[in-house]
Structure 1
Amino acid sequence: MKRAVLCVLDGFGAGAMEDVSAVRPQDRNANTMRHVIEQTSVKIPFLSRLGLPHILNDPSLLALTPPLASYGKCNLYHYGADSYTGHNEIMGAKPIMPKTQFIRELAPLIEKRLVERGFKVEYPVAGTGILLVDNEVVIADNMENDPGQIINITGALDTTPFEKIFEIGKIVRTIAETSRVIPLGGTGITVSDILLNIVIKPERTGVDMGRLNIYNENYQVRHLGFGIDPDKQIHSILMKQGLEVYLYGKMADVITGEVMERNPMVNSQGVMDLICNRLENMKSGFISATIQETDLAGHEQNPEKFAAVLEIADAGLRRIYDMLHPGELLIVTADHGNDPTIGTSQHTRETTPLLVCVKGSPARELGLRTTLADVAATIADYFGVSAPEFGTSVLS
């Protein structure tokens, strides 16, 4: 009987990738891990024990001690620095190149398809391409991620059921070839609030979700991806072998396919409690969870908030480690960077830390991995099941 826990610290990058000068020059100075540690008094003793100082490799910031986990870094195989694609890559998908598209160009096609389905469509902000559907749901560019990669479908859940927002999102997905289409909704807002928080920029136009303050306990979201086959990912492979799989935090939003339980908790302490509560009564299986509030702090360009979330994660990881039996697996990684110190609110194209702890086993250096999918391949190797479509195990 085996148990494995994967914890993704969203946006906790380990330094700009080598290709950024050519593909994302704005990220040349990004190093989320280093800059958060440098600029705050963050206390992360357990991540340090696991081996984070060996990844950082600067004893003046984190003292080097014998690590509990094997340590290394992962390159992003996917283009850009995207949470959805990053998470799916972590779970074993081989990313394919989406198109860069904006609502201005997609609006006529989306309008035509929606009208054919019986919806009323208006243009509430002239010259932007933003669509208002049935005076309830706003279709616009995503303003938090890479430009042209995501179309958001935003509604007010006090007046519009999420099922309707999701239905509109699925129709948009048949048109857009962007990395993601995201139907989402929250309570305590109106459609007027959504429209009042529209931001118009030269290249894209969308809703400022931070200002809208939509991320609360009633927030609902689904991520409709481009070219992802969940049957080839580790969670589906494990489920088909009769193993229990649980998805918590953002992982529950962005990974599709059948699992035992999913809970898209945003609160970091809540996510750690979900993991520990599940471990108390789980004899065998896999828990995959994301701490999202690090990423939200990056978007807010707030290193102190980022550090505070890391401290919650650090204490939670210690609890998880103590609950694991010898020989059980704990993996900590990230999906991209989100450096809050370099003057951008966007994700940064960074390597990610990789900590792989088989409790009680010797640690070793893992080097720089080609893809985040090595995480899924490692989990498959650990459980002795078929490999996902992409990635190489670090256990061999």
Structure 2
Amino acid sequence: MRTLPGQKRASKGHTRGTSGATPALFPSSQVDALIMYEDTVPCIPPELTDKVIDFVAEEEDAKLVLKNCSLACRAWLPRSRHHLFRCFTVKERWGFSKFLDFLEYYPELSVNIQTLELHEGGFGYMDNDPWMNYDVAAIPNSVTSHIRSLHLENMHWGLLSSDAREFFTTQFPAVESFSIARTAVSLSFLTVRDIGWEEYPDKFALENTQRHHGLHIDSLLLVDHALFPWILEGHLAPGVRTLEIRQNDIGDIEVIGRILQHIGPSLEELNIHFPFTHLGSSLHPTVVDSKSANLEVLTLAQSDADTFDYLSWINRFLSKVRSQIRRVHITMKGVPARPPLGYWLCINATLGTEMFKNLEEVVVTINRSLIGPQEAAEVYTRYLSIPKQRGLLRIEYMST
């Protein structure tokens, strides 16, 4: 049977460096047939190696068998099971120590790690003196230079030492996705090219503007409205294609418009959540003049009722859109009764204008409504007759 790179041919019935017999799982001819070749370098399919390991593990004295099995030797592991080491999740300091021990024992696997997730304690836990301040710099460059996705959880960015922040912002040159969850800085789904930002009590600013030119983001989720001024100060580089805003302040309407202006024509998908009902029927000029000329997908959602001001705001926003919208998704949570006819007829008429000639889908989602699913489908189908006639309307009913 052919040997893998780094292995010597074992004597018949024995593995290299041991005296135990290798189990005859397959005839050598079958194993040869199952080995794939690419550029003359043999490679066993991951699916097969998983089955081999599982098969051997079921036998008596499995640990001894695995130790003696040439397919499980150290030279084979990095070459044939590298798909198991593409993502590492490290929880708390003790897990980080084990992670470093693993890298020390298998340094050749460093180049295969593409995703690294670091958790500071459990859910709801936030240490005033994070372990990352002392340990994170121990991650070798052989790992950080290949990481493409970096995720930090339960970690307060402002509590990190300057050295730790510098490490995260400078030692991951290949990172494409940077995510921070359950922390004071609510940024997620970031595609990052040059990243260099720091949190202050009431302000966000960039360090070393000569080197860092802002976040180059493909998709951005904003949960904390405190990030709005940071973006408007110019730290968000152009090129955002998807923007989702979950705003908690009615006064943020003006700021949202300014953010849309800042992003400009690159925006293709806009998703806005309105938790409160009193939006007012007027649109701020910054929203109207956002210049989102390439916007294709528009999603609007609001909690607590199918209200007059929300519907009026939707209609006025749709009537001011200067883009060829392809998909509109309207979500209402907590609809108390039959929705108001007049405003929906206005929305229906707007969707029939020339601006929406390229429309491909209109979705209305009703969540936690006091009207039943059948009545809701009948009512909204009648109210939105134009997209219904064009075969574009879809009604979704959710009870939770």
When normalised by structure 2's length, the TM-score is: 0.25
Larger Rg: 2
TM, length-normalised to structure 1: 0.26
